Amino acid sequence: MSVSVSPPAIPDSTSIEKASTWVAPLRAEIARVLVGQTELVDRLLVALLTNGHVLLEGVPGLAKTLAVRTLSGALHAQFKRIQFTPDLLPADVLGTMVYHPKDGSFSPRLGPIFANLVLADEINRAPAKVQSALLEAMQERQVTIGDNTYKLPDPFMVLATQNPIDQEGTYTLPEAQLDRFLFKVRVVYPSPAEERKVLDAMATSSPKLEVSQVAKAEDVVASRVLVNSLYMDEKIRDYIVAIIQATRAPETFAPHLKLLIRCGASPRGTINLALAAKAYAFLAGRNYVTPQDIKDLAPDILRHRILLSYEAEAEGVSSEEVIKQLLDKLPVP
């Protein structure tokens, strides 16, 4: 006998307002230390709410590390930074078993992966063996050391950075690992006004970067239940599927794109776009998802999931241009 399960009740605006009381103070505290980068901060919060991971791409000096460190301080979450280098070993990230000669026993020494926010700095400088060691942690939220499996803390988020211009001595991230990142965020240069604020605040040998705890990591975890129950219309669900399908069969909407896309987004992209849109709506104080939420998030969701063809690379066409053309061609509900 099959048992029908009723969908969770859609929360009203009062419930959203009550559950999101931590959002405004957290944004304000981060903005007090981090100038600009509001889009980056929003993506980090969306990833926390959806139990996802973020790949940050940008030239050095754009405050990627500062953003993550500030977020962890404002949440009072445990933060660890791992500098990825060509000689790094999986045990340096995950941990290892330590032998005790006195009694002939072994005990685990847990690695820096055991933290709420893990900054994998210049992740593409480590060899494939180290990058692959992260796959279980990112997907299963657990690490196997020896014969034992250890659960990672909750929340757990990997924020990996990579430099787009210095490719000497780097290793391309495997597609299986790229697909496990919720977002690939391009960190851009600040505007002239923002850069002037950076100059005024940071042009000193001892800048004040103290961060106050204004929220708890538990607040984020508790909000996930509400985020999952936000309303998403059937037309918006169809719109998400249409976007993902268009990356696999672009000739349906734009025939000239067929030669530019070698491989489209996986079903994980479909799921992640829906989850991220709900979290994005929650941060905006809404109990429903809009088509604009989907359009705003789609580039960061799809950027690393679309493999361009050799023709696209030869013509200098970027994934941004391909995604924009697809979104422009698709009818919006």
Count how many domains the chain has.
2
Domain membership flag for residue 294:
yes
Same-domain check for residues 139 and 255: no
Same-domain check for residues 245 and 307: yes
Q: Sign (positive/negative) of CA torsion 301, 304, 307, 313?
A: positive
Give how far the C-alpha of residue 320 lies from the chain's centroid of Cα atoms, to the nearest Å.
17
Residue 49: predicted pLDDT:
93
Same-domain check for residues 236 and 153: no
Residue 104: predicted pLDDT:
76
Residue 234: predicted pLDDT:
94
Average pLDDT over all residues of the chain: 84
d(CA 38, CA 193): 14
Residue 84's domain spans which residues?
Answer: 15-199+216-220
* CATH number reported for the structural domain that contains residue 307 in this entry: 1.10.8.80
Residue 11 has, within 13 A of its CA and on its CB side, a CA count of: 23
Residue 169: predicted pLDDT:
58
Residue 1: predicted pLDDT:
44
Q: Sign (positive/negative) of CA torsion 316, 319, 324, 329?
A: positive
Residue 308 has, within 13 A of its CA and on its CB side, a CA count of: 17
Cβ atoms of 9 and 287 within 8 Å: the answer is no
Coil vs helix vs strand at 219:
helix
Residue 207: predicted pLDDT:
67
pTM above 0.85, yes or no: yes
d(CA 45, CA 267): 23
Same-domain check for residues 268 and 167: no
Stretches in the chain below the pLDDT threshold 70: 1-8, 165-171, 205-208
